[in-house]
Amino acid sequence: MMQIRTIHPSDNKPLAVIIRATLTEFGANHPGTVYYDSTTDALSELFSRERAVYFVAEDNGKIVGGGGIYPTEGLPADTCELVKMYLLPEARGKGLGRLIIARCLENARSFGFRKVYIESMPELKIALKVYEKFGFTYLNVPLGNSGHFGCELWMIRELDRGNGKMEK
């Protein structure tokens, strides 16, 4: 049975493995990405701050991925970032990523954010298509100060246009 819940400290190690394995799988394990970010090993601590949340996806008790929103330094006060959105291969194609993103967008709105920002890479083509279906559009320059200089693509979505569900 699939379940989506908020992060616990015991999730740190399995999630770090999933994030790094996924980036390696797609050839996106570059310097300047979450692959080398020390916060990847301490997600529960990172997301314990105000206006941040991380959702963990479980399948029959096994962690298969997750994603969250975070008020990244340097972003406008009304903007958060959709971050660390990764799923194991066996969890993909089942709508789980869409559920996590929708939950993130709902929480962003409830936290008072009006926009959600994403940093990504061309190697993550499948994820980019999902973000586009959610109404994210590409930017020409990065926003904020995530420290992830290895990300070459930036997207944004306004939250006041609907309920966080994918567009048709």
The model's pTM: 0.92
Tens-digit pLDDT profile for residues 57-81: 999 999 999 999 999 999 999 999 9
Question: What domains does the chain contain, in order, with CATH numbers?
Answer: 2-158 (3.40.630.30)
Helices (H) and strands (E) in the chain, counts: 4, 7
Q: What is the mean pLDDT of the chain?
A: 93
Strand partners, 158: 115
Return the pLDDT at 150.
Answer: 84
168: confidence class by pLDDT, cuts 50, 70, 90? very low
Q: What sections of the chain are H helices per DSSP?
A: 12-25, 43-46, 96-110, 125-133
